[in-house]
A and B are shown apart, each in its own frame.
Chain A
Amino acid sequence: MNLRRLLSIVVKELRQLRRDRLTFAMMVGIPTMQLLLFGYAINLDIRNLDAAVLDQAQTVHSREVVAQLGQSHVMNFKFNLDEPQQIQELLRAGKISAALVIPPDFERRMSTRDRVPLQIVVDGSDQVIQQAARQLAALPLDAALNPAAAVNANQTTGNVEIVNFYNPERRAPVNTVPGLIGVILTMTMVLFTAMALVRERERGNLEFLIATPVSAGELTIGKVLPFIGIGLVQVTVVLVLGQLIFHVPIRGSLIDVYTSALVFIVASLALGVFISTLAQTQFQSMQIAFFTFLPQILLSGFMFPYAGMPWPAQWLAEILPMTHFIRLIRGIMLRGAGLRDLWPELVALGVFIVIMMSIAIARTRKRLD
């Protein structure tokens, strides 16, 4: 390993990167775009659900409940119904997703608490709505079971209960943003490394290079080093934007955040290097890279909870570097955990790096055949 040679490859790589505006724009653009996309658009915080009200009680309190639920903007009461069967008609037609039913004996149910005072009928064909409304249904129930609420009528208690209930959902970006660091690093690091290495082969530069004293190790490391810097810049972009836009806290130490990000970047680069040994063209390397994205995003726990997966999926998830990084980054940023608590995840990433790099180096030959 010759340092001057290694450095010259890094310098060359940076010069090329500077001229490759598209790649450069993607380096910064992808984190920003994804952060906004996941932070705002992909939001499980349900708002403005088209809904109907069937108020059979027509008391002061019942109207109060309707008004308060309306103010939460979760349900947008478009219809005031008189007959129960209208609910089914509207639901079937897709005009509403939910309906609030207030029984005639609402007042009695509220005071005696012998039966559930409110009913929410939900369009079960949409899983997300179903889930959200099911939780929504817990609100009046809580109020009813809460003695203070029962005594104090519905006015203030209702408000408080709504806020409490929606708290976790309103804070969805808090859960998303740390994991998003993993998604962004996976997409950019794996893809760009795989493509950068294959590009030399595709453009014919490799044939010149392998006829020189440059070694396969120097070439690989020299080309990959600039990406570590870029990866850390991306982490910083997400952390800063996450803080500014979504107020995502960093409860653990910043050094731990960067340490685990660094290890994860190297793991992703190792995967990219491995992919580059399989592909002949940049297009192929892109396809293989995308092939590895899906399991990483779906199984890592970023989108769906790990605990809910069947064991083969869990077993597969354990192999993927992103699973371990999601655990690390959520633990550090949200639970304030340290690397001393989470060291097994770091070890898992380390093992992944060693295995991937060993295979990649064994497959890299300084020859054309």
Chain B
Amino acid sequence: MSSQGLPPPALGHPGSSPGQALPPQAGGGKDLAIRARGLTRKFGNVVAVDKLDLNVGRAQVYGFLGPNGSGKSTTIRMLCGLLLPTAGDIEVLGYRIPEQAESLKRRIGYMTQKFSLYEDLTVNENLDFVAAVHEFTRAKARARIDELLQRYWLGDLRKQLAGTLSGGQKQRLALAAAVLHKPDLLLLDEPTSAVDPQSRREFWDSLFDLVDGGTTILVSTHYMDEAERCHRLAILDRGKLVADGSPQELMQALPGTALLIECTSPRKAQAALTGRRDVVAMAQIGAHLRVLMRDGADARVQLQQQLHEAGIQARVEPTSPNLEDVFVATTQRAPRGDEAQGGRA
């Protein structure tokens, strides 16, 4: 995979200000599908999106990873002109948004989080309608719909009401509708939230097919395995961009260390280590306890000692960081009773 001359990755530490976390400004908008500067949206007193800077290169899958309420949907809606930003500049496919949003709408496909086609129309009728909305002639529409029905395995379902489809089928229909007019940019808002793993894999295969055809895809998710498949990833937390880069780069740039503790009772070990200031997160993985430490300093001996004092025989081994570690490190809420170090309240 290539990063296509994009700015180097940057990883925001939970304690750092968002300004430091941002990549340097990319010059010009020619090779960028989306460029946003200082994007902000407030709902009343709530800041949903906070001074977001985004650079999304063409013909790649760009992922938005973030917990619920981190501003993923709001950002996507602002990028396609459905919501007005409170402040900031947006340029999508060379159009200034929101001023030129209507021209942009011919060139983007948008798949909403919730199934937004008509449940009381059949698969065929839905696609028919979408084709007409995009001013396809009847002959052109017929050919394109047949092509899509075949590509997304909907041929046998064409006469079925959309409301009676399964989650995976609905999602394939929604994707077919979103790409019907061959958009240059596809915005997908948590497209796989109601879909089984097999369907998710198939769905991602079709996304990469589209990228091969030159489509740029912006996809929001909260699944780590999906985030890992993106060419480039932005991690959002409470409306702020806390990390931006390729998944590999983000994992390498992780400032903390991941440790794997092997012991007889991981639960007790977790209790013993709770309250340590240098522990960012702990999670039990089967018979192991996975611990994310705050900085590079080797705390293995210390930990082993502390566990020994607590009467727990344990072996502490370093392990390679994964995307979940990055996610936890960047989006973690200020540790309990540790305001000074969290510093993001």
Taking beta carbons and an 8 Å cutoff, which residues of A are in contact with B? 2, 4-5, 7-9, 11-12, 15-16, 19-20, 203-214, 366-369
* Residue B52 CB within 8 A of the other chain: no
Please judge, given known A-B contacts A204-B116, A205-B116, whether A5 and B132 are in contact too, CB under 8 Å.
yes
A204 and B77 CA atoms in complex are apart in Å by 13
B115, A211: Cβ atoms under 8 Å? no
Asked whether any CB of chain A lies closer than 8 Å to the CB of B226, the reply is no
Residues of B within 8 A of A205 (CB): 116-118
Given contacts A207-B82, A212-B133, are A368 and B77 in contact (CB under 8 A)?
A: yes
Not counting A12-B118, A207-B110, a sample of 17 additional A-B residue pairs whose C-beta atoms are within 8 angstroms of each other reads A2-B135, A5-B132, A8-B128, A8-B132, A15-B120, A203-B116, A205-B116, A207-B114, A208-B177, A210-B82, A212-B133, A212-B134, A213-B102, A213-B105, A213-B106, A366-B101, A367-B83
Q: List 19 A-B contacts (CB under 8 A).
A: A8-B129, A12-B118, A12-B121, A12-B129, A204-B115, A207-B112, A208-B110, A211-B80, A211-B81, A211-B105, A211-B108, A212-B105, A212-B134, A213-B105, A213-B134, A366-B101, A366-B102, A367-B83, A369-B84
- Determine whether the beta carbon of A204 is less than 8 Å from that of B114: yes
Instruction: For the complex, give the distance between the alpha carbons of A19 and B120 in Å.
Output: 7
A204-B114, A208-B112 in contact; A367/B129 too (CB < 8 A)?
no
Smallest Cβ-Cβ distance to A212: which chain B residue: B133
B117 touches A368 (CB 8 A): no
Number of interface residues of B (CB under 8 A): 31
| Contacting residues, chain B, for A368 (C-beta < 8 A) | 77, 82-83
Q: Which B89-104 residues have a C-beta within 8 angstroms of A?
A: 101-102
Q: A20 and B116: CB pair below 8 A?
A: no
B residues in contact with A214, CB < 8 Å: 133
A101 to chain B, nearest CB (A): 67
> Assuming A16-B118, A367-B81, is B133 touching A7 (CB within 8 A)?
no
- Closest chain B residue to A367, Cβ basis: B82
A206 to B112, CA, bound (A): 10
B249 within 8 A of A: no
Contact B82 A211 (CB under 8 A): yes
- Nearest 3 CB-CB pairings of A with B: A8-B132, A208-B116, A211-B110
Report the number of A-B residue pairs with Cβ-Cβ less than 8 Å. Answer: 76
| B317 nearest CB across to chain A (Å) | 48
Q: Is the Cβ of B82 less than 8 Å from the Cβ of A4?
A: no
CA distance A59 to B130 in the complex (A): 87
**In the assembled complex, B125 has its CB within 8 A of some CB on chain A:** yes
B86 to chain A, nearest CB (A): 10
Across the two chains, which residue of chain A brings its CB closest to B103? Answer: A213
B49 to chain A, nearest CB (A): 13
Q: Contacts A204-B112, A367-B83; is A213 near B118 (CB within 8 Å)?
A: no
Nearest B-chain residue to A18, judged by Cβ: B120
Query: Is there contact, CB below 8 Å, between A208 and B84?
Result: no
CB distance A16 to B121 under 8 Å?
Answer: yes
In the complex, are the beta carbons of B135 and A5 less than 8 A apart?
A: yes
Query: Are A5 and B133 in contact, CB atoms less than 8 angstroms apart?
Result: yes
| Interchain CA distance A210-B105 in the complex, whole Å | 8
| A212:B130 contact, CB within 8 angstroms | yes
Contacts of B128 in A (CB 8 A): 8
Task: Note all chain A residues with C-beta closer than 8 A to B84.
Answer: 367, 369
The complex places the Cα of A207 from the Cα of B76 at a distance, in Å, of 12
Q: Which of B105, B119, B125 contacts A15 (CB 8 A)?
A: B125
- With both chains docked as a complex, state the minimum distance between the C-beta of A223 and any C-beta of chain B, in angstroms: 12
Knowing A12-B121, A16-B121 are in contact, say whether A7-B132 is a contact too (CB < 8 A): yes
A206–B82 Cα distance when bound, in Å, is 10
Kindly report which residue of chain A lies nearest to residue B111, judged by CB atoms: A208
Using known A-B contacts A8-B133, A213-B135, A214-B133, determine if residue A208 contacts B117 with beta carbons closer than 8 Å.
Answer: yes
Considering the complex, which residues of chain B in the window 154-190 have a beta carbon less than 8 Å from any beta carbon of chain A? 161, 177
How far, in angstroms, from A77 to B117 measured CA to CA in the complex?
67
Contact, CB under 8 Å: B120 / A20? yes
**Which residues B52-92 have CB closer than 8 A to chain A?**
77, 80-84
Which residues of the partner chain B approach A19 to less than 8 Å between Cβ atoms? 120, 161
CB distance from A102 to the nearest CB of B (A): 69
CB distance from A65 to the nearest CB of B (A): 66
A174 and B80 CA atoms in complex are apart in Å by 57
Which chain B positions have C-beta within 8 A of A204? Answer: 112, 114-116
Chain A residues with CB under 8 Å of B112's CB are: 204, 207-208
Assembly CA distance A4 to B129 (angstroms): 10
A12–B80 touching, CB < 8 Å: no
Q: In the complex the two chains form, is B135's CB within 8 Å of A4's CB? A: yes
Shortest C-beta distance, A368 to chain B (Å), equals 5
Distance A212 CA – B136 CA, assembled complex (angstroms): 13
Q: Which residues of B contact A207 (CB under 8 A)?
A: 82, 110, 112, 114, 116
Residues in B with CB closer than 8 Å to A15 are 120-121, 125
- Chain B residues whose CB sits within 8 angstroms of the CB of A369 once the complex forms: 83-84
**Residues of A close to B106: CB separation below 8 A:** 213
Which residue of B is nearest A2, CB measured?
B135
B residues less than 8 Å from A366 (CB atoms): 101-102
**Could you give, for residues 126-142 of chain B, a 1 whenever the CB lies within 8 Å of some chain A CB and a 0 otherwise?**
00111011110000000
Residues of B within 8 A of A9 (CB): 129
Query: A20 — which chain B residues lie within 8 A by C-beta?
Result: 120
Q: How far is the CA of A212 from the CA of B101 in the complex (A)?
A: 10
Residue on A nearest B117 in the bound complex, by CB:
A208
The residue of chain B having its C-beta at the shortest distance from the C-beta of A218 within the complex is: B133
Shortest C-beta distance, A192 to chain B (Å), equals: 15
Q: List the A residue with the shortest CB-CB distance to B128.
A: A8
Whether B125 pairs with A12 at a CB distance below 8 angstroms is yes
CB distance from B47 to the nearest CB of A (A): 15
Bound state CA distance, A367 and B128, in angstroms?
24
Residues of A within 8 A of B125 (CB): 12, 15
